[in-house]
């Protein structure tokens, strides 16, 4: 599920249950995530106080007295707060138990997600170095896209999905933002004007901000929630809408593989 809006929604949902709490244990039922989880971290974590729950790109960052947990949801991961002590389900790989008796429970069928523990400064962490700006920050704008794209021959879709360009633009929102900006996803990144990149930066911000807002309404209850909500599909213009009419011109939406991923666009509105 997780693109940036889902990760941010998760952060907002779980932070109130964690901030200020003291960690009791880390329960590792399945250490084989993308990178192995070391159950011995539990001893080091026990007694540490959770100072904050932040996000950088699609990484959740939990500050535990100066050390850090870095949590990534991968393709199929989710986090929720368990307050009723219920037994874990299938694929509930990890619990972070705090002193209220609640726990943050990680479920991930595909195990592409990961949890890292580090006592080194986050700024030097290899997973976080080299990341581009946050899409909703002022540092991200059309001028940045324009400058970084000069000489690049890769598709604009691949370019905006590259975390060195800007973080948090995943496959769904890349298609959506390019549609909103009227740019063909296969167009070479280096051959797009300043003005069009200004429109694309705006479209990325608009699309992500709207999705976060919806996440806030559809995913509000992060404790004990059972069902995972659908994917805001009602508000998507082109993603997963192949062969249905474009909302602007009624041409049929196309699906093609671009930048090695399924890509949806209107062949008439996007040039």
Partner DNA sequence: AGACAGACCTGTGAGC
Partner DNA sequence: TGCTCACAGGTCTGTC
CB of residue 89 vs DNA: minimum separation in angstroms?
10
Q: How many CB atoms are closer than 10 A to CB 124?
A: 9
| H or E segment and range at residue 261 | strand 261-265
The interface mask with DNA, positions 21-60, x = CB under 7 A, is: -----------x-x----------------------xx--
From the list 21-29, 80-88, 166-174, 214-222, the region that binds DNA by CB under 7 A is 166-174
Q: In the set 52, 83, 119, 163, which binds DNA (CB under 7 A)?
A: 163
The answer to whether the beta carbons of residues 106 and 76 sit under 8 Å apart is no
x/- track of binding to DNA for residues 69-108 (CB under 7 A)? ---x-xxx-------------xx-----------------
Residue of 11, 58, 80, 241 marked active site: 58
3-state secondary structure of 115: strand
Which residue has 């907002």 as its token pair?
12
Q: Which residues pair with 78 in a beta bridge?
A: 107
Tell me which stretch binds DNA (CB under 7 A): 11-19, 94-102, 116-124, 157-165.
157-165
Q: Nearer to DNA by C-beta: 97 or 208?
A: 208
- In order, the DSSP letters of 162-218 are STTT-SS--HHHHHHHHHHHT--TTSBGGG--HHHHHHHHHHHHHHHHHHHHHHHHH
Q: Which is nearer to DNA, 95 or 108 (CB)?
A: 108
CA dihedral 52, 56, 60, 61 (to 10 degrees): -40
Q: How far apart are CA 215 and CA 10, in angstroms?
A: 9
Instruction: Provide the phi-psi class of 250: left if phi over 0, else alpha when psi is between -120 and 50, else beta.
Output: left
Specify whether 58 is catalytic: yes
Contact region with DNA (CB under 7 A), list: 97-105, 151-159, 198-206, 215-223: 151-159
Q: Is 262 in the site for DNA (CB under 7 A)?
A: yes
C-alpha span between 99 and 128 (Å, rounded): 29
Binding mask 105-144 for DNA (x = CB under 7 A): ----xxxx--------------x-----------------
| Catalytic residue list | 2-3, 58, 261
Q: Which residues contribute to the site for DNA (CB under 7 A)? A: 1-3, 6, 32, 34, 57-58, 72, 74-76, 90-91, 109-112, 127, 151-155, 158-159, 163, 170-172, 189, 231, 259-262
């Amino acid at each position: 599920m997780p693109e940036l809006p889902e990760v941010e929604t998760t952060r907002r949902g779980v932070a109130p249950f964690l901030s200020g709490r003291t960690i009791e244990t880390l329960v590792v039922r399945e250490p084989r995530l993308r990178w192995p989880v070391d159950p011995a971290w539990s001893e080091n974590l026990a007694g540490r106080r959770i100072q904050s729950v932040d996000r950088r790109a699609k990484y959740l960052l939990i500050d535990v007295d100066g050390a850090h947990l870095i949590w990534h949801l991968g393709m199929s991961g989710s986090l929720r707060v368990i307050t009723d002590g219920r037994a874990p389900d299938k694929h509930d790989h990890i619990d972070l138990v705090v002193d209220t008796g609640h726990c943050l429970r990680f479920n991930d069928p595909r195990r592409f997600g990961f949890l890292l523990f580090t006592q080194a400064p986050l700024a030097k962490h290899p997973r976080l170095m080299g990341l581009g700006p946050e899409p909703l920050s002022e540092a991200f704008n059309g001028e940045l896209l324009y400058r970084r794209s000069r000489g690049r021959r890769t598709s604009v879709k691949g370019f905006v999905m590259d975390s060195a360009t800007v973080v948090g633009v995943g496959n769904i929102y890349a298609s959506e933002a390019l549609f909103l900006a009227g740019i063909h996803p296969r167009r070479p990144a280096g051959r797009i004007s300043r003005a069009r990149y200004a429109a694309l930066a705006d479209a990325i911000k608009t699309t992500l901000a709207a999705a976060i807002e919806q996440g806030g309404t559809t995913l509000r209850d992060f404790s004990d929630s059972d069902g995972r909500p659908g994917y805001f599909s009602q508000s998507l213009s082109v993603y997963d809408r192949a062969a249905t009419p474009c909302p602007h011109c009624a041409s049929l939406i196309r699906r093609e593989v671009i930048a090695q991923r399924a890509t949806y666009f209107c062949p008439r509105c996007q040039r």
